[in-house]
A and B are shown apart, each in its own frame.
Chain A
């Protein structure tokens, strides 16, 4: 039953995030527009864009190589696998055994590298520039993520996401200031990873300021569709990650039948909506920062993570 349940939940989870990812992007955009006093596009607009792009004939730049054709699938595959490892409505899914945070980080790095290589491929200035910046940001984002993982490992005894979620759901450790710091650090990392304000502006196409979009300038047709899907999936993934760690309540366990699952799903949708709202409010509240201030921003995140670790050590040392 457990294995079967694990399989079912895993498949349902995949279907859910695949279907929900563009929707989540749409919702965020819609909320942002509302907060800015605009009517905003329909939340399903991203889905429509993707389907339309899929119908178009892809155009490759002259200098482009096989990389431009392969990179989108690689990046998407890696992101999908990472997303599949992060529990949404149920824990103990089929892949829970290997749902290691370091592996998730690695898969995201793989997707990032594929994206950067895609930026390099056509040999255009903006592509290269965007790639260099993307990798630079990662240099600061990754250590922050790792130290957060250490914090969770200290509390949950393992770096396995499923275990962490389970331990945190039991709530045995109560509300800790160190967790708050870790949460802030992780949020900052998530913003950078998803190229959101203040690190990058997903809406703009002004070349000088952008990072993420610059690497996709040459993509078109189905390739662009896959890239868009990948971006949406990544956003969902990070939301799910934050939810799974910091808002673990209400998640069902794989063994417990459909009723609890749907309850967990309900909880999850609420969490997602909440996070989307927070993101929208945040993005509409503040402005994008200059590219060379981003390292400071992420360095701050790293410091927060280290502080969290230090506090954990103190508290465990006292306890």
Chain B
């Protein structure tokens, strides 16, 4: 096991060295894919058989060797990493050669994430975490020498430094005895120390996972990178942050933590889910839409995590395991369909030449494979039965509904409110996915480039089909997959905790609710098929093609081959109802309407500027404060030599006086 992991990690380092030279990028990416598959293999072994106990490495900080281990929790997330990485890397190998810096940073990115997952002491974990941040930043910066992308990279790096430092502080308070996980478990923190740990971990890992209000970098940074990187960031990196959260909040502090620990997570998670789903309906860049949907899903997952903490704190182990199962399963499902969606978006961007929905449309005719995969992914993301997204969100909603079993009325009310918010987020996600599909793949092409786009072929198509097949598998076999997490659940909730699984169904032990994905899929297929047969038996006429009725509009003039572009709803137009009704929850919106003057041939226009409240209410004020303080500090510099001398003199005199005074007292 150790040899396998070590071989993969070393291989990654070697590949990054090869990547520096910029030669043979395909080799680099395929090699990374192999290494990622190796991780997946190790994870599978650890999940089915037994993992790896904490082992000391020859390298490490001066005061103690680094420890690595592979327990069920790590293995589960390592599996997620592999699930995302393999298709993404195949896609990368199928794409044109990137700049050398990217070829060098990509393996390091993978290695960093893997290091976080297998680390068994704080230093190694922090090392991997920072490596992950740094490499992913390099991946963004390498693509954007100038312009907005550069500012994005800067913002991302600043947030990365912030989360790293917060995690360091969190460990500092968590581990008075030593950084080894075993030592921390032996002496769990209590009282205000524990509370500080909670806050710092929420700041550190939370900002990495995109929790509000530290989500603002995510919708900018994830789309800025190359498509495979975006897939890895959205599918795997946020999960690594989630893993850190679980490790530091659920595992290391021990089971003795109070129930209220979950409440901040629930609140932040719900807010994040709402904001993310809302923004997903308003973005005008397909990859940004997907990044916002990542926010939504992370929000849901964190809500589940909070519920698990609440239930565990109030001694409702079965419910805690239910919520935890929802968390773990949704993490995996989201990895599957988000990778699929990002790769589809990348295929569209590279083949149809744009990421702006207003320059796409009607792609289903030209790229049926991509469209099919995208629909599958979108349906999963919209949590439609019987696809994978629904199974895990069913678990999550059930655990929210079960929130009333906690004796605290306040928690019951919070659960109800959260349920409402989560439901809203789920609805918004569905709306966003419909908007995405409708704008990109359905309707009429909006540009000639979109009308002439080729379909994905070769390895790119394989890279799309892989996660698609996986999502389908996860949809039907949700229960068996979930039973693999039994080890992790026992590890976190005690020996008698069980995954809410019975055979091929997901069940709630006492509440008697049950979801059988296979049955639903079967019945649905049956219903659709029978309906189709019946209808076709009664009416067998082949359909004919005519110009669209279009509510009576005249057919477009010949110089508009794809019809009148103005008579097809735009991205903003589709977002308008939601923007009007909910937009201001998450965004500061400025709408300006320029009406067409009588006799003026110009068309009337509506100009909408939106900015996330995270910027306007948090980041900008902080930046102003920082500027003011640095101006203060700078004022000290512009002094003459004699002032500086007198500063030294004053310090001396002050200290002398202080000593004299202290010796009196």
Contacts and interface: CB of A to CB of B under 8 A. Distances in A.
Interface of A: 54-67, 69, 73-74, 76-78, 80-81, 84, 95, 97-98, 100, 102-103, 106-107, 109-110, 112-113, 116-117, 119-126, 128-129, 131-133, 135-136, 138-147, 149-150, 153-154, 157-160, 163, 207, 217-218, 221-222, 225-226, 291-292, 295, 302, 305-306, 309-310, 312-314, 316-317
A106 B385 CA distance: 6
A61 to B, nearest CB: 4
Contacts of B542: 57
Contact of B416 (A74, A112, A128, A306): A306
A198 B421 CA distance: 25
Contacts of A116: 434, 438
Contacts of A136: 431, 577-578, 581
Which of B362, B416, B444, B535 has most chain A Cβ within 10 Å?
B416
A125 B551 contact: yes
A116 B437 CA distance: 10
Given A117-B442, A123-B361, A129-B569, 8 more contacts: A61-B546, A77-B527, A103-B394, A107-B385, A122-B548, A132-B573, A221-B541, A313-B413
A107 B385 CA distance: 6
A63 B565 CA distance: 13
Interface string B390-426: 1000100110111010000100110111011111101
B443 A121 contact: yes
Nearest to A95: B523
**Closest CB pairs A-B (n = 8):** A123-B443, A120-B438, A128-B569, A143-B423, A77-B528, A135-B431, A61-B548, A77-B527
B427 A123 contact: no
A174 B510 CA distance: 24
B528 to A, nearest CB: 3
B377 to A, nearest CB: 13
A103 B385 contact: yes
B78 interface: no
Given A100-B514, A121-B443, A60 B546 contact: yes
B593 interface: no
B638 interface: no
Main secondary structure of the interface of B (DSSP, over half): helix
Contacts of B573: 128-129, 132
B501 interface: no
A98 to B, nearest CB: 5
B394 A106 contact: yes
B442 A123 contact: yes
Contacts of B546: 59-62
A140 B520 contact: no
A117 B438 contact: yes
B365 interface: yes
Contacts of B442: 65, 67, 117, 120-121, 123
B57 interface: no
A60 B385 contact: no
B511 interface: yes
A93 to B, nearest CB: 13
B489 interface: no
Contacts of B543: 57-60, 69, 221
A57 B541 contact: yes
Contact of B423 (A129, A146, A158): A146
Contact of B443 (A100, A103, A120, A158): A120
B278 to A, nearest CB: 9
Given A57-B543, A106-B385, A150-B419, A143 B427 contact: yes
Contacts of B510: 157
Contacts of B647: none
Which of A81, A123, A305 has most chain B Cβ within 10 Å?
A123
Given A61-B549, A113-B430, A317 B409 contact: yes
Contact of B574 (A54, A132, A295, A312): A132
B458 interface: no
Contacts of B427: 109, 135, 138-143
A62 B523 CA distance: 33
B409 A226 contact: no
Interface in B493-543: 508, 510-516, 519-520, 523-524, 527-529, 531-532, 535-536, 538-539, 541-543
Interface in B438-465: 438-439, 442-444
B544 A63 contact: no
Nearest to A83: B527
6 contacts: A65-B365, A106-B394, A110-B384, A142-B427, A146-B397, A163-B512
A158 B384 contact: no
Contact of B539 (A54, A125, A146, A310): A54
A143 B551 contact: no
Contact of A123 (B423, B513, B568): B568
A109 B430 contact: yes
Interface residues on B, range: 35 or more
B384 A150 contact: no
Contacts of A291: 577
A21 to B, nearest CB: 13
A57 B544 contact: yes
B603 interface: no
B308 interface: no
A126 B553 CA distance: 11
A62 B563 CA distance: 10
A313 B413 CA distance: 8
B424 A124 contact: no
Contacts of A225: 535, 539
Interface string B120-144: 0000000000000000000000000
A163 B512 CA distance: 9
B549 A218 contact: yes
Contact of A142 (B365, B426, B535): B426
Which of A121, A126, A136, A154 has most chain B Cβ within 10 Å?
A136
A124 B434 contact: no
B382 interface: yes
Given A124-B568, A129-B569, A143-B420, A217 B549 contact: yes
A306 B417 contact: yes
A170 to B, nearest CB: 16
A71 to B, nearest CB: 10
B438 A139 contact: no
Contacts of B416: 147, 150, 306, 309-310, 313
B550 A159 contact: no
A295 B576 CA distance: 13
B567 interface: yes
B582 interface: yes
B364 interface: yes
B574 A81 contact: no
Contact of B434 (A55, A131, A163): A131
B443 A109 contact: no
A61 B442 CA distance: 12
B577 A113 contact: no
A67 B578 contact: no
Given A73-B532, A78-B524, A123-B442, A98 B514 contact: yes
A311 to B, nearest CB: 11
B211 interface: no
B435 interface: yes
B379 interface: yes
B9 to A, nearest CB: 42
A124 B539 contact: no
Nearest to B389: A106
A81 B526 CA distance: 9
B424 A139 contact: yes
Nearest to B397: A102
Contacts of B607: none
B428 interface: yes
A80 B531 contact: yes
A14 B435 CA distance: 34
A38 to B, nearest CB: 27
Nearest to A153: B401
B118 interface: no
Contacts of A139: 424, 427-428, 431, 578, 581-582
